[in-house]
Amino acid sequence: MLFNSAVFLLAFLPTTLVVYFWLCRLRWITAAQGWLVLASLFFYSYWKLEHLPLLLGSLLVTFLMGSELSKGRATRSDVPRRALLITGIVGNLGLLGYYKYANFFADNINGLTGWVLDWPKVVLPLAISFFTFQQIAYLVDSYRGQTREYDFLRYALFITFFPQLIAGPIVHHHEMMPQFARRRNWVLSHRHVLTGLCIFALGLFKKVMIADTFAPWATQGFDNP
């Protein structure tokens, strides 16, 4: 689902905002955060539903590792915790590497050796780079004792929040989660709405008028180097 598409602008975004602030008004904060997670997962799976289990599995495994890492303090002599951190980082990078470079390496091996590796075509999951590095940042923060949210729902919201899931930026846990805990952010603010609309309008203009205008030329250059 593109940010400049009609389904996002006229259906998804208004529905998500109305339901979220309605739940906040009822003081059902956990339900409101759960609604944002569901909306974000729907937003992610709208393009390709098959990649949703990959995101959910990655979320669950990394959350469990982060919860374990957060139980102690980072020391150089703490070998088990360091090993768990390294395992989590390598696992996340390995998943990213497989989806991004499996076809690349297979094609190069075939070209260099003359072999014919019958490697299945791997489709790159949407936003895998963003949620991979954000989860790695969470693991490191957990290892250093800098995380405070050990609830899976809030962790899922931190990783999947739709405005930054597919386009970034990559943020740290302590930068994002306190914003959801502020009571003033549970109330619909006209100032926040106007500020958001201005920023969104600027981004929409850059996307539609500038980026999409130059896209055919850029595509031509990349397709015919």
33-76 pLDDT, tens digit per residue, is 999 999 999 999 998 888 899 999 999 999 999 988 888 665 55
Q: Which two tokens stand for residue 49?
A: 């539903």
105-138 pLDDT, tens digit each: 777 777 777 777 666 777 888 888 899 999 999 9
Q: Which two tokens stand for residue 123?
A: 């489709």
End-to-end CA distance of the chain: 30
Q: Do the Cβ atoms of 119 and 125 come closer than 8 Å?
A: no
User: What residue spans define the domains of the chain?
Assistant: 6-187, 188-218
Whole-structure pTM value: 0.83
Range in 26-35, 181-190, 212-221 the model is least confident about: 181-190
3-state secondary structure of 12: helix
144-180 pLDDT, tens digit each: 888 876 689 999 999 999 998 888 788 888 888 888 8
Q: Which two tokens stand for residue 168?
A: 């970034």
